[in-house]
Structure 1
Amino acid sequence: MTLVVTIATTAHQDWLVAHDTEVAPSWVQRCVAQNEYIVAERQGQLVGFLRYSLFWGKIPFMDMIRVQPEHQRRGVGRALLHHWERLMLDAGATLLMTSAQADEPEPLAWHQRNGFREAGAVQFGPLQAAAEVFLLKAVT
């Protein structure tokens, strides 16, 4: 089964709104318009996405990566990450950034297996019970 990874278009927008529930539909629309979503498709079915932004307007920051449960542990997340890394390298990036909650060991371990290293953590008080761990990855 071939996996196709591409930058999202407006054709993907309804699916992204339904599956990226951490942000408002207007934010999904904005990110699609700015080419800040990457989607993975298998046999014509969307199975995952990666949403990113630019920290301080210059450091590529992976805001969210999500793969449908039935497609997890099959290389979809890694394919999304590698596609994003190549795009960011082509755009001149030398450093990538992401984060995960300190009480989420699986996402933290996944980021670390894929070359990210912890750079620090921030407590957000009443907004989030667990600290947010920030991770960096040098790319060349």
Structure 2
Amino acid sequence: MEIDFATESDYEFIQQRDHHVLTDLLMAKIRAHEVYIVRNEEGSNIGWMRFGYFWDNTPFMNLIWIEEQYRGKGIGQEVVQRWERDMKQKGFKTVMTSTQSDEDAQHFYRKLEYRDAGCLLLDTQPLEIILIKDLE
């Protein structure tokens, strides 16, 4: 398995599956190295992780997605840990993410030592749990 920054050649794979980001913004994020791509041993794309910055100063993981047949094998954990190492190397002391209260992802993040830091309640979806992790 390989985890690296996505390139323009990965755009179509991600764009066809990521329905949570504007298509124009996705290319900008790829060019800014704010998207990681995950490839299997044969070099095929099997997932990605996209992030941005909360308050423009705290890395915030927006989405991690792994193809169904590769889930539950520790790949997501490896992607998150790679991102955390990169963010720590850049000098960040804290990272954030979120998940809806009806999603199992909250348990995944808690196992990776993320802790609840608050929530957001929107009219059209379940409670959004904000999670935070200190990198020091």
Q: 2:51 matched to which residue of 1?
A: 52
1:15: which partner in 2?
13
Which residue of structure 2 aligns with residue 90 of structure 1? Answer: 89
TM score, norm. by length of structure 2: 0.95
1:72 maps to what in 2? 71
Q: Is the 8 A contact 1:17 1:25 kept in 2?
A: yes
Counterpart position of 1:115 = 113
**Percent identity of paired positions between Structure 1 and Structure 2:** 24
- The offset of 1:129, in angstroms, is 2.3
**Superposition misfits of 4+ residues, deviation over 2 angstroms:** none
Deviation of 1:122 (Å): 1.2
Q: For 1:92-107, what aligned pairs fall within 5 Å after superposition?
A: 92-104=91-103, 106-107=104-105
Asked if the contact 1:61–1:98 (Cα under 8 Å) also holds between the matched residues in 2, the reply is yes
Give the Cα separation in 2 of the matches to 1:120 and 1:129: 16
Q: Of residues 33, 40, 47 in structure 1, which corresponds to 2:31?
A: 33
CA RMSD of superposed structures (Å): 0.9
- In the alignment, the residues of structure 2 paired with residue 138 and residue 82 of structure 1 have an alpha-carbon distance, to the nearest angstrom, of 13
Name the SS of the counterpart of 2:46 in structure 1. Answer: strand
Unaligned runs of 5+ in 2: none
Structure-1-length-normalised TM-score: 0.93
Return 5+ residue gaps in structure 1 as ranges. Answer: none
